Amino acid sequence: MTLHPDLLSLLCNPFTGEPLKQDGDSLTGTASGARFPIRAGIPVILPPRQPLRTRFYRRFYDLAAALYDPVVRAGGQIGVNHEERLRREVIAALEISPGARVLETAIGSALNAPHLPPNIQHFGLDLSWGMLGRARRNLAAWGRAAHLVQADGAFIPLHTAAFDLVLHLGGLQFYADPFRGVSEMARVLKPGGRAILLDEAAAARRLLRRMPAHRDYAPDLPTAAASMTRLVPFTITEFESRLLPGGLFYMLSFTKPENL
Ligand SMILES: C[S@@+](CC[C@H](N)C(=O)[O-])C[C@H]1O[C@@H](n2cnc3c(N)ncnc32)[C@H](O)[C@@H]1O
């Protein structure tokens, strides 16, 4: 299956930065000759060796994929979470322009897709093949389109300065290296582009505690929202982090400077 040119033109080897070209059912690095498979039309561009945490959550979400949507839906029905409303309100507030190129890192089963405007270029990556399978099924059922890639969000296989918006909901806590994950989001943004990141507030504190440099040298983690600003690369000067009403989620947003 030939990859869509909009996707192929943006794909790169995240370990070398080189562009990739399609050779039948695989992608080849134009300089190194490194090969990555294309599985059922989805590029699989994963690091050759993955940390234990990454392997664990990849397997976990492969197993949990079938249950993910029903569990999220049930949580909404019994009032444990209000994710549906949160998705709708946060995405509506972004006022995404027609034609914008939007990347979702850790897209999961694509539950944000129905809230995004239909006239955008939507790209999504996820670590779990099972979740991407659900995403594909959901997108088809909703009549939506997105270019999907199986990848680790800490090694985004997409070119630098390619996206107007990077959206992330609920995956960062599972990353082996959340610092790298956030700096990769910044890298793929166009100058002036925005990143919006939402995750559980309780997870934000745990996330920094397991990063040795923070545990040992900066143990004062005042609040979840403040903690998250420590993940923002120092080249980013415009950012905001706050707890959302209800206190369950924080939202970190930043804009890539025009001169980067
Ligand atoms: C709680 S789900 C959130 C999914 C989706 N963003 C949503 O809003 O429903 C967490 C997702 O993060 C993905 N994930 C975990 N670690 C990841 C990583 N290192 N890179 C990319 N995705 C990852 C999982 O596979 C899973 O789909």
CA-based nearest residue to 187, from 224, 158, 214: 158
Give the pLDDT band of residue 128 (cuts 50, 70, 90): very high
Q: Say how many Å lie between the CA of residue 30 and the centre of ligand 1.
A: 29
CA-based nearest residue to 258, from 242, 235, 240, 241: 235
pLDDT of residue 132 exceeding 80, the answer is yes
**Residue-wise pLDDT tens digits, 27-82:** 999 999 999 999 999 999 998 899 999 999 999 999 999 999 999 888 777 666 67
Q: Quote the pLDDT of residue 219.
A: 62
**Residue-wise pLDDT tens digits, 174-228:** 999 999 999 999 999 999 999 999 998 888 878 877 777 666 666 666 677 877 8
Q: Quote the pLDDT of residue 81.
A: 62
Q: Are 127 and 56 in contact (CB under 8 A)?
A: no
Residues 217 and 143 in one domain: yes
Residue closest by Cα to atom 27 of ligand 1 = 108
Q: DSSP of the chain, one letter per residue?
A: -PPPHHHHTTBB-TTT--BEEEETTEEEETTT--EEEEETTEEEE--SS--HHHHHHHHHHHHHHHHHHHHHHHHHHTTS--HHHHHHHHHHHT-PPTT-EEEEET-TT-TTGGGS-TTSEEEEEES-HHHHHHHHHHHHHHT---EEEEE-TTS--B-TT-EEEEEEES-GGG-S-HHHHHHHHHHHEEEEEEEEEEEEHHHHHHHHHTSHHHHHH------HHHHHHTTS-TT--EEEEEEPTTSSEEEEEEE--TT-
Q: What is the mean pLDDT of residues 139-149?
A: 97
The helix-helix angle for 52-77 and 129-142 (nearest 10°) equals 40
Residues 28 and 152 in one domain: no
Q: Domain total for the chain?
A: 2
Residues 15 and 102 in one domain: no
Q: Quote the pLDDT of residue 206.
A: 80
Q: Quote the pLDDT of residue 66.
A: 95
Give the pLDDT band of residue 19 (cuts 50, 70, 90): very high
pLDDT of residue 105 exceeding 70, the answer is yes
Report pTM. 0.95
Q: Are 104 and 149 in contact (CB under 8 A)?
A: no
Name all residues whose Cβ lies below 6 A of ligand 1. 54, 57, 61, 106-108, 111-112, 126-128, 131, 152-154, 169-171, 174-175
**260: in domain:** no
Q: Strands 121-126 and 147-151, how do they pair?
A: parallel
Q: Are 68 and 75 in contact (CB under 8 A)?
A: no
Residues 32 and 139 in one domain: no
Residues 191 and 237 in one domain: yes
- Domain CATH number, residue 109: 3.40.50.150
Q: Quote the pLDDT of residue 220.
A: 67
Choosing from 69, 128, 179, 207 the residue with most ligand 1 atoms within 8 A of its CB, the one to mutate for a pocket test is 128
Residues 98 and 6 in one domain: no
Residues 217 and 193 in one domain: yes
Residues 150 and 189 in one domain: yes
Q: Are 195 and 253 in contact (CB under 8 A)?
A: yes
Q: What is the mean pLDDT of residues 133-159?
A: 98
Residue closest by Cα to atom 12 of ligand 1 = 171
Residues 122 and 177 in one domain: yes
pLDDT of residue 260 exceeding 80, the answer is no
Q: Quote the pLDDT of residue 11.
A: 98
Average pLDDT, the chain: 92
| Domain limits for position 1 | 1-41
CA 135 – CA 148 distance, rounded (Å) = 9
